[in-house]
């Protein structure tokens, strides 16, 4: 066994207070990343690719001519586009920070699952904008959850996208649940699901929901039209296929671990060997393949490959942008992932108006995604700013730290 193989097969650290203390020592230290974001250049093409990656063909994001005639005056990015974009802000560590970060990731080799996120959207991203991205850990705790297996670690990261003058575009507060692979396998029984095939009648009902989906578009939605209890949707997403996962990656890239094909994959394996394990043919492949590889998902204790949690956040955002129209603005968004979403699952995403502030022209909306088994696998809440009655786009908010809710356990 060569050194790379030995390192890749090494047992991860125990997920205990000692490990969490090692993680906590990194709170507040800016993260250095060698992996470049998928889109360093913001462009109308990349806006379209991102939106289509989650099944959204809204012309505000895909047709520059249409977007130019909107109240925004040009192409703007879909709300969650910054996850795929930016230029990494240079990080200068102090000597103490350098020493702390040189020890390697205390959670290397331990599985992680995105379980929630909170956003504050400050202003639109336009073609040609330069986004400087920075990230740091802001909390780490041991918690108990059935998500991913028993006791695990909940880590929350703060990510900011700003221009070169420090003016923000958006802030994201991202939660990951870390659980060792053995613990994940031990809870496999609780994740056994019925994976019955869809009948022709089932597919017809799903297709009818797709056909009925409407986009508010250029017709402004005004605050006087909205009442507490109004319902949004549902829109349908699925049944989820490998093709849908591929489409997601076309729009967003392969993520933060640097996964790539052939020689790029080989070099990445040398860089992060614990992220690679042998497949049934003895070939090294990324642990990330649990999102499309049936055999590997089963080895991890799952009945099938599963989605990325952020995919369902984009589905809830898709419902919002369909409803609110071109001129409105999503101010804040909270999303939680409650259960896994497996290949073959279909989701119905809906919302309900919770609060209406007519003076501020804001609407608070509760969001939920329910699968064909009647299980709520994701939920969230958003505050949408509607446009003024005289025309034009919504008044953009100023960022306030108190607008961001605290992290919650999955």
Reported as a single tens digit per residue, the pLDDT across 304-360 is 999 999 999 999 999 999 999 999 999 999 999 999 999 999 999 999 999 999 999
286 in Cβ contact with 265 (< 8 Å): yes
Please give the residue that has the higher pLDDT: either 397 or 235: 235
- Rounded average pLDDT over 42-61: 98
Residue 102 clears pLDDT 60, i.e. is over it: yes
**Terminal C-alpha separation, the chain:** 39
What's the pLDDT at 108? 81
Under the banding of pLDDT at 50, 70 and 90, the label for residue 405 is low
pLDDT of residue 389 exceeding 90, the answer is yes
For residue 10, pLDDT beyond 60: no
The dihedral through the CA atoms of 146, 148, 150, 155 has a sign that is: negative
pLDDT tens string 249-298: 999 999 988 999 999 999 999 999 989 999 999 999 999 999 999 999 99
Buried b (16+ CB within 10 A) or exposed e, 9-21: eeebbebeeebbe
pLDDT-derived band at 148 (thresholds 50, 70, 90) equals low
Domain residue extents for the chain: 3-106+113-403
Give the per-residue pLDDT at 8: 40
The pLDDT score that the predictor gives to residue 1 is 40
Cβ-proximal residues to 120 (8 Å cutoff; 6+ apart), any chain: 170, 171, 331, 332, 399, 403, 404
Check whether 149 has a pLDDT greater than 60: no
Pick the CATH number of 3-106+113-403 from 3.30.2400.10, 3.10.129.10, 3.30.565.10, 2.40.50.140: 3.10.129.10
Dihedral sign for Cα atoms in the order 384, 389, 393, 395: negative
Per-residue pLDDT for 187 more than 70?
A: no
For residue 65, pLDDT beyond 70: yes
Residue 326: predicted pLDDT: 98
Q: What is the mean pLDDT of residues 142-150?
A: 66
pLDDT of 43 > 60? The answer is yes
Rounded to an integer, the average pLDDT of 229-245 is 98
Beta-sheet strand order (sheet of 329-337): 87-88, 132-144, 151-162, 168-179, 111-121, 329-337, 376-385, 362-371, 347-357, 231-237
Q: What's the pLDDT score for residue 5? A: 40
Query: Considering only CA atoms, which of 18, 206, 124 is closest in space to residue 397?
Result: 124
Q: Evaluate if residue 410 carries a pLDDT over 50.
A: no
Is residue 42 a contact partner of residue 131, using CB atoms and an 8 Å limit?
yes
C-alpha span between 190 and 188 (Å, rounded)? 5
Can you read off the two tokens belonging to residue 398? 């100023």
pLDDT of residue 186: 56
Kindly report the pTM of this predicted structure.
0.91
Top-ranked range on mean pLDDT: pick from 146-155, 192-201, 205-214, 250-259: 205-214
């Amino acid at each position: 066994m060569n050194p790379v193989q030995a390192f890749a097969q090494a047992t991860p650290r125990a997920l205990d207070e000692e490990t969490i203390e090692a993680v906590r020592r990194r709170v507040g230290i800016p993260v250095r990343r060698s992996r470049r974001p998928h889109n360093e250049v913001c462009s109308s093409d990349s806006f379209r690719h991102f939106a289509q990656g989650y099944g959204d063909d809204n012309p505000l994001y895909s047709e520059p001519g249409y977007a130019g005639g909107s109240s925004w005056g040009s192409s703007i990015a879909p709300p969650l586009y910054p996850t795929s974009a930016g230029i990494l802000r240079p990080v200068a560590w102090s000597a103490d920070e350098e020493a702390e970060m040189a020890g390697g990731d205390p959670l290397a080799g331990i599985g992680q699952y995105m379980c929630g996120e909170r956003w504050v959207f400050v202003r639109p991203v336009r073609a040609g904008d330069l986004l400087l991205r920075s990230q740091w850990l802001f909390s780490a705790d041991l918690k108990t959850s059935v998500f991913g297996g028993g006791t695990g670690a909940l880590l929350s990261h703060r990510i900011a996208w700003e221009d070169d003058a420090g003016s923000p575009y958006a802030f994201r507060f991202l939660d990951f649940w870390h659980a060792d692979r053995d613990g994940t396998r031990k809870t496999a029984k609780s994740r056994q699901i019925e994976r019955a095939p869809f009948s022709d009648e089932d597919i017809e009902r799903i297709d009818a929901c797709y056909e009925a989906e409407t986009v508010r578009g250029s017709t402004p939605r005004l605050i006087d039209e909205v009442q507490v209890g109004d319902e949004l949707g549902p829109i349908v997403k699925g049944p989820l296929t490998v093709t849908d996962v591929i489409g997601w990656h076309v729009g967003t890239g392969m993520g933060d671990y640097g996964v790539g094909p052939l020689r790029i994959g080989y070099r990445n394996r040398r860089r992060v060997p614990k992220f690679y394990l042998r497949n049934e043919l003895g070939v090294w492949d990324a642990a990330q393949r649990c999102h499309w590889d049936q055999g590997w998902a089963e080895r991890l204790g799952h009945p099938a490959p599963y989605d990325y949690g952020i995919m369902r956040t984009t589905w809830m955002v898709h419902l919002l942008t369909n409803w609110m129209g071109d001129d409105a603005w999503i101010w804040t968004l909270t999303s939680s992932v409650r259960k896994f979403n497996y290949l073959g699952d279909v989701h119905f995403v809906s919302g309900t108006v919770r609060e209406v502030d007519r003076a501020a022209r804001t609407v608070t909306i509760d969001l939920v995604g329910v699968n064909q088994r009647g299980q709520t696998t994701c939920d969230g809440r958003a505050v949408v700013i509607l446009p003024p009655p005289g025309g034009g786009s919504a008044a953009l908010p100023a960022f306030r730290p108190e607008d961001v809710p605290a992290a919650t356990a999955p």
